[in-house]
Chains A and B, each alone.
Chain A
Amino acid sequence: DVKVTQSSRYLVKRTGEKVFLECVQDMDHENMFWYRQDPGLGLRLIYFSYDVKMKEKGDIPEGYSVSREKKERFSLILESASTNQTSMYLCASSIDRTDQGYPEKLFFGSGTQLSVL
């Protein structure tokens, strides 16, 4: 089974801190994604990566950056945490879309609930 592991289930940080959220997948997936989930807003895509060192902005990239130095690891960075970044963060991975006939199914981690005080 595919496993996507997020390093922390709960995290509490202070305003202005630099925050790292780590995600590791063990199935050699090319694509990795960071979403945030807020009540009433569903999941919104922050950033995604389709290869090592390659990244693309999602719908709400402001205030975030990402790093993908190794294929299995995708980090989300909050350069200076703010209270409006308090949220559930979900990491996901998927195989390359060029695999014929395979739907773009995402495998998710169990999420990190980040509170910024």
Chain B
Amino acid sequence: AQKITQTQPGMFVQEKEAVTLDCTYDTSDPSYGLFWYKQPSSGEMIFLIYQGSYDQQNATEGRYSLNFQKARKSANLVISASQLGDSAMYFCAMREPSYNTDKLIFGTGTRLQVFP
């Protein structure tokens, strides 16, 4: 079963508008972490934001915020005031504990296109 689900293969948004990228997850572990990464066309993976399962507040990093709804098991990324440079693939990921170290499990990604 999918542990991280991103249901939007592609999204379009106009410059300066806000956009929400969806992510749902599945885990029975009470302690987990959720991440968002951005991958521009150059291929590098850029860390954007992190939310811990015990964090009381939704995480924010500049124009990025994470809409964390624990009961719904969703961790949507909100990008405010979109810029042309935000056009990229966006991946949601979840920390999955294993015996020796934790590992990240990724979703299938959402391609965001920002148009003028």
A interface, CB within 8 angstroms of B: 30-31, 33, 35, 40-45, 48, 50-51, 54, 56, 58-59, 88, 90, 92, 96-97, 103-108, 110-111
Chain B interface residue count, CB cutoff 8 Å, equals 27
Which residue of chain B is the closest to A48 with respect to CB atoms? B103
Which residue of chain B is the closest to A44 with respect to CB atoms? B106
Which one, B67-75, B76-84, B94-102, is touching chain A? B94-102
Distance between Cα atoms of A96 and B101 in the complex (Å): 7
Distance between Cα atoms of A97 and B50 in the complex (Å): 15
Residues of B within 8 A of A51 (CB): 100
Which residue of chain A is the closest to B101 with respect to CB atoms? A50
From the candidates A42, A48, A88, A103, name the one contacting B43 in the complex (CB within 8 A): A88
Pairwise interchain contact A42-B107, C-beta atoms closer than 8 A: yes
**A103 in contact with B109 given A43-B91, A96-B101, A110-B43 (CB within 8 Å):** no
Residues of B within 8 A of A105 (CB): 35, 47, 50
Tell me if B56 counts as interface (CB < 8 A to partner A): no
Which residue of chain B is the closest to A112 with respect to CB atoms? B43
Residues of A within 8 A of B35 (CB): 103-106
